[in-house]
Amino acid sequence: MAFLKKRTSISKKHIRKNIWKKKGYCAALKAFSLAKSLSTGNSKSFFVLKISTKNLE
């Protein structure tokens, strides 16, 4: 016999949604931090080739 599933409580739904949102927030924070370190030149995990404008003229 088939039975109906119990409904998930609203509080549990909110908890799961907040965990999902927090994962996105952490990923965005990491990306922003990496971009900031690349722009300032303090990055230790990436090697960025800096081109001077004098050589291009």
Look at residue 3 in the predicted model and tell me its pLDDT.
80
Pick the more confident residue, 18 or 3: 18
Look at residue 5 in the predicted model and tell me its pLDDT.
81
pTM of the model: 0.56
What's phi and psi for 36, nearest 5 deg?
A: -65, -45
Cα separations in angstroms, 7 against 3, 12, 46, 56, 57? 12, 10, 48, 66, 69
Tens of pLDDT, residue by residue over 15-48, are 999 999 999 999 999 999 888 888 887 777 766 5
